[in-house]
Structure 1
Amino acid sequence: MELNNLTGFLVHRTDVKMTNFFTKILKQYEVTPEQWGIINVLDAERATSQKELAEAIDRDQTTVVRMIYSLEKKEIVRRIQNDFDKRSHNLFLSDKGMSLKTKLLPIVTAAHDHVTKNLSKDELQQLHELLSKLYSSVKEE
C-alpha cells in the first residue's frame, strides 16, 4: 500500500505541519500550542480541576501537571488548593493569563482561518465529523 493512501500517515503529516505552523505563530508570545490549549480552557472566574483540564485537552494528568507548573512560573495560571479536597487544586487564569488569552484569541483565530482557507464551511464541518469518527475508533486503544 502506498504511504499517501494511509489515513494515519496523512493525519500525522498534517498534524506535524499544523503544529509547526501554530508553534511559529505563538513563539513570540512564549506559548506553545499545548499551553494555548490550557489557556483557552481556563478562565479567571471559574475553577477548573487538573482532572477536568486533562480531559478537556486530552492529555494525561502527569503531563498536565508539568504544563501547569510551567504556566504558573510564567504567572499565567494560578493554582489554589481545593477547600474540600486538600489533594486537589483549582486552576484559574491570572490577570496576566486573561490578558494573554484576550490577545492571542484573534491571532489563533486568524491562524485557524488561514489553515482552513481552502475548505468550505460544509467541508470543515465534515472534516471535524470524520476526524471525530477516527478518534472514536482509537480513543480507548
Structure 2
Amino acid sequence: MDLNNLTGFLVHRTDLKMTNFFTKLLKQYEVTPEQWGIILVLDTERATSQKELAEAIDRDQTTVVRMIYSLEKKEIVRRIQNDSDKRSHNLYLSDKGMSLKTKLMPIVTAAHEHITKYLSNDEIQQLHDLLAKLYSTVKDE
C-alpha cells in the first residue's frame, strides 16, 4: 500500500507543513498557532469560560489552562474569577491582546490566501465540508 493513497497520511502531512508555515509567520510576535486560536476565540466584550474555550479550540481543559497561563504571563489574556461560580474563571483579551489580534489578522488572512491560492472558493468550501466529515467520523474516538 502506498502512503500517498492513505487519507490520514495526506491530512497529517499537510497539517505539519501548514503548521510549520504558520508557526514561522507568528514567531516574531511570540505567538504559537495554538495561542492564535485562543486569541481569535476570545473577545474583549464577552466573557468566555475555560470550558467554552477548550471546546472551541478542541483541546482538553488541562492543556487550555497551560496555554492561558502562558498568555497571561505575556499580558495578552485576562482571567477574572466568575462572581457566580468561584471555581470558574472568565477569560478576556487584554488591551494588549486586542491590539495583537488586530495586528495579526491581516497576516493570518494573507497566510490563508497564500495556502489556498490554487483553490477556487467552491473548492475551499468543498475541502472544509470534506474535512468536517472526516472529523465527525473520528471526533469521539
- TM-score of the two chains, using structure 2 as the length reference: 0.99
List gaps (5 residues or longer) in structure 2: none
Instruction: State the partner residue of 1:58.
Output: 58
The one-letter amino acid paired with 1:68 is I
What's the RMSD between the two structures over aligned residues? 0.3
Query: Partners in 2 of 1:49 and 1:105 — Cα distance?
Result: 23
The one-letter amino acid paired with 1:14 is T
Pairing of 1:31-50 with structure 2 (within 5 A)? 31-50=31-50
Q: What SS is found at the alignment partner of 1:92?
A: strand
Query: Partners in 2 of 1:112 and 1:100 — Cα distance?
Result: 18
Instruction: State the partner residue of 2:95.
Output: 95
Structure 2 residue 7 is the aligned partner of structure 1 residue 7: yes
Deviation at 1:45, TM superposition (A): 1.0
Query: Partners in 1 of 2:114 and 2:11 — Cα distance?
Result: 18
The one-letter amino acid paired with 1:84 is S
Query: Partners in 2 of 1:122 and 1:45 — Cα distance?
Result: 34
Q: What are the superposed Cα offsets for residues 101-121 of structure 1, whole Å, 9 maximum, x if unpaired?
A: 000001001001000101000
Deviation at 1:80, TM superposition (A): 0.1
- TM-score of the two chains, using structure 1 as the length reference: 0.99
Query: Partners in 2 of 1:26 and 1:118 — Cα distance?
Result: 23
The one-letter amino acid paired with 1:35 is Q
List gaps (5 residues or longer) in structure 1: none
Q: What SS is found at the alignment partner of 1:79?
A: strand
Instruction: State the partner residue of 1:114.
Output: 114
Query: Partners in 2 of 1:13 and 1:51 — Cα distance?
Result: 30
Query: Partners in 1 of 2:87 and 2:129 — Cα distance?
Result: 38
Q: What are the superposed Cα offsets for residues 32-58 of structure 1, whole Å, 9 maximum, x if unpaired?
A: 000000000001111000000000000
Identity percentage of aligned residues: 88
Q: What SS is found at the alignment partner of 1:118?
A: coil
Deviation at 1:89, TM superposition (A): 0.1
- Number of paired residues? 141
The one-letter amino acid paired with 1:15 is D
